[in-house]
Structure 1
Amino acid sequence: MEHKDIKKVMDLASPVSNLPKTRNIGDIKNLEPGERFRAVVALTAAKQRRDKNDRIFWEVSVMDSFGNLEAKVWSDAKWWNAKNGNKEPMVAENINPQEDLLNKPVGVIGVVTEFKGRLQYNFNEVYLLDPGKHPISSFLQKSPVPLAEMEKNFWSIVEKCGDPVKGFLHFVFRGDLWETFRDAPAAVSHHHAYVHGLLEHTLAVASSAIAIGESYVARDFPVDMDTLIAGALLHDLGKVEAYSLEPFPSMTLKGTVIDHIPLGYARFINLASEYDLCEDVTLAVGHIIISHHGRKEYGSPVLPATPEALIVSMADELDFILHCWEATGVQGDGEITDFSYSAQRRFWKRSATKDKKGE
């Protein structure tokens, strides 16, 4: 989207012919070293640093509805206050990140560089913009899956269950809790860290878990599909308290000091008691919630000990790892990615142009 007012301000700084094309973050990540860009984004994090010559520079994170980007603003960059439609120079040393930058809209002119074999994004000019003309909500990244489609799929999964599980799921996902769950991110970073991310992740886990469970049922393996579905849909229930949109995905105090697994288990037990869910189902589904991270070092106080808990845990881990594979970039013409600290490995991204027979 072209932002005419910021383009006009930027035109004052450079001849129109020298201005780079306006890009979104998704496009910027596909640029090559040396290519310039212009963008209007929300600044979500800013840390003031000093280089080896004791000059101030900034490490910043920005966001638009297409993704997130980490960038540098070096000491020779120009800062402008353009909130009133004109450009007024700013001194970097006098900028207060909390008041002037965080969760604020900015216009940037930058360039892609390469440092130690990795792409780096440098902002050469930063324009502080009027939040009234550039509301933060317009920069929020949302799930790429249409919300109506996800809601339809969610309730079709619920309808696969019989009572008491189906009735209980309708009881849980209603009113304010459904709206919060539907809109919540699944994380601050790593995976599904955007609006509707929790719903997208939950559906992915439930769909995989159902497919695995049904394959074992077909072989006469004793998998309770109602319990499996309930556990899959409820496994991250605690994230409605652990994460928030303020306005961007962030961790709450409860999420920081307690974490989503115990928060989700506590909420589930309260809801089960309020609904008068039978003890056997409560225990089986509660076990899935409390064990779904699969390992104690990953935050689960107990290990999965039932077929349903094992399947949900594996489906949850798979969705997380595959999302890391998708999000981790390859530099240059190679097929091996940078090291993913979230997944604790490098990934192999086989070239799509290669014949699968190796020819």
Structure 2
Amino acid sequence: MPAETLDARWAAVVGRLTHAGKTLLSMVLDHVGEDAYLRMAAAERMHHACVGGLRWHSIEVAEGALALASVFEGDGPPACLDNLVLGGLLHDIGKLREMQVDTVGIRRSVEGRSRYHTTLGSEIIAVACALAPDRLEAAGVSPTLIAHLQHVCESHHLQKDWGSPTAPQSREAMFIHLADQASAKWRQMTDDAATASADDGGWCGAADGRRSPVWIPSRALNLPPVGTSVRPVGTELEHRAETASRGAADEVPSATERGADAAARSVSVVVLRDHVPFHQQED
């Protein structure tokens, strides 16, 4: 993704924030170091695993959460834009302590081997706010806005088995969780498809040892629609008809043969693959 494109998308989502939201964003980035944020990867290998990947992924999450809110706008109280944008841009801020990017590559930090970015992110926000309470008050940053941002950090992985100590408890937090999943899985599957050749059905093998293959329907050959019944070549009845035409004695097919032939005649053109649901790992 070109840096100029990311800069424009960043400016667009940050422009949706109120003065209070922009102040809180600035305070958190000042605390962790904006250069470090811009350089950090989103994951070691699963998705957006590159220098600058964290910002790329975070922009997508903020944009996705805003899009979800626009779809459901009018159904109940309006969503808080500050909660959506801040949550999207900073939900993974804990990765600046969980991971490191250096000459060795992208890897977990010493702290990140035993702690997860969901709780580390909440701590970063608490410390950043404690360093300049007067600035928060002057900008009108409410304790609720801060608490919700911490909640998003802790809940965006949905459940404890995936690293979240709590589940999303607000609509905005749930939108951020869903947008996080969409961004991570889209990038993961797109990267897998880009590094593997597709078979005639458009299936690509999973990369990096992941168990689920990726299906790219646009790469499939022009196969008959799913469910189309075709008559296979060389069925048992055709063989018997050819034998009879040559003067061979008629054979009475057994019940087993009749059943097998009937099944063969109704076969559907469907490409089957074993599927293992994606499990959230490093998102």
CA contact 2:98–2:108 (8 Å) conserved in 1: yes
Name the aligned partner's letter for residue 287 of structure 1: H
Deviation at 1:176?
6.5
Specify whether residues 207 and 342 from structure 1 end up closer, same or farther in structure 2 by C-alpha distance, changes over 3 A only: farther
Shift of 1:334: 3.7
One-letter amino acid matched to 2:218? S
**1:238 counterpart residue number:** 94
* Matches of 1:150 and 1:185, distance apart in 2: 14
Q: 1:300 aligns with which of 157, 160, 164?
A: 164
Q: Which residue of 2 is the match for residue 214 of structure 1?
A: 70
Q: Given the alignment of the two structures, is residue 312 of structure 1 paired with residue 176 of structure 2, yes or no?
A: yes
Structure possessing the higher radius of gyration over alpha carbons? 2
Q: Note closer, same or farther for the CA distance 1:230–1:333 as it changes in structure 2 (3 Å cut).
A: same
| Alpha carbons 1:227, 1:308 under 8 Å: kept | yes
Residues 283 and 196 of structure 1: is their aligned pair in 2 closer, same or farther, counting only changes over 3 Å?
Answer: same
User: Structure 1 stretches of 5 or more lacking a match?
Assistant: 1-144
Quote the Cα distance in structure 2 between the aligned partners of 1:296 and 1:159: 34
How far off its partner does 1:159 sit?
Answer: 2.0
Q: Does 1:348 align with 2:215?
A: yes
Q: Which residue of 2 aligns with 1:80?
A: none
Assess, with a 3 A threshold, how the Cα gap between structure 1 residues 176 and 281 changes in structure 2: closer, same or farther: closer
8 Å contact kept, 1:161–1:226? yes
Q: Which is richer in helix?
A: 2
Change (3 A) 1:353 1:207: same
Q: Quick one: distance in 2 between partners of 1:186 and 1:255? A: 14
For residues 164-183 of structure 1, what are the structure 2 equivalents within 5 Å?
Answer: 164-174=20-30, 177-183=33-39
The match for 2:83 is 227
Distance 1:175 1:258, change over 3 A: closer
Task: State the partner residue of 2:245.
Answer: none
TM-score by length of 1: 0.55
CA contact under 8 A between 2:66 and 2:85: conserved in structure 1? yes
| Structure 1 residue 149 displacement after superposition | 2.7
Runs of 4+ in 1 over 6 A off after TM superposition: 340-343
Distance 1:176 1:301 in 2: 23
- Residues 241 and 336 (structure 1 numbering): CA distance in 2 closer, same or farther, change over 3 Å? same
Are the aligned partners of 1:336 and 1:348 in contact in 2 as well (CA < 8 Å)?
Answer: yes
* 1:204 aligns to 2:35 (yes or no): no
> How many aligned residue pairs are there?
215
What is the RMSD computed on CA atoms of the aligned residues? 2.6
Contact 1:324 1:340 in 2 (8 A): no
Task: Tell me, in whole angstroms, the C-alpha distance in 2 between the residues paired with 1:262 and 1:175.
Answer: 17
Matches of 1:352 and 1:215, distance apart in 2: 30
Cα distance between partner residues in 2 of 1:168 and 1:219: 28
User: In 2, Cα distance between the equivalents of 1:354 and 1:178?
Assistant: 47
Matches of 1:290 and 1:311, distance apart in 2: 14
Name the structure with the higher strand share. Answer: 1
Change (3 A) 1:256 1:222: same
Q: Which has the higher contact order (CA 8 A, sep 6+)?
A: 2
- 2:10 aligns with 154
Identity of aligned residues (%): 23
Note if contact 2:198-2:219 (Cα within 8 Å) is conserved in structure 1.
no
Quote how far apart the aligned CAs of 1:175 are. 8.0
- Summarize deviations over 1:208-246 as a string: whole Å, max 9, x none: 111111222244543111111111111000111222222
Cα offset, 1:353, TM superposition: 6.5
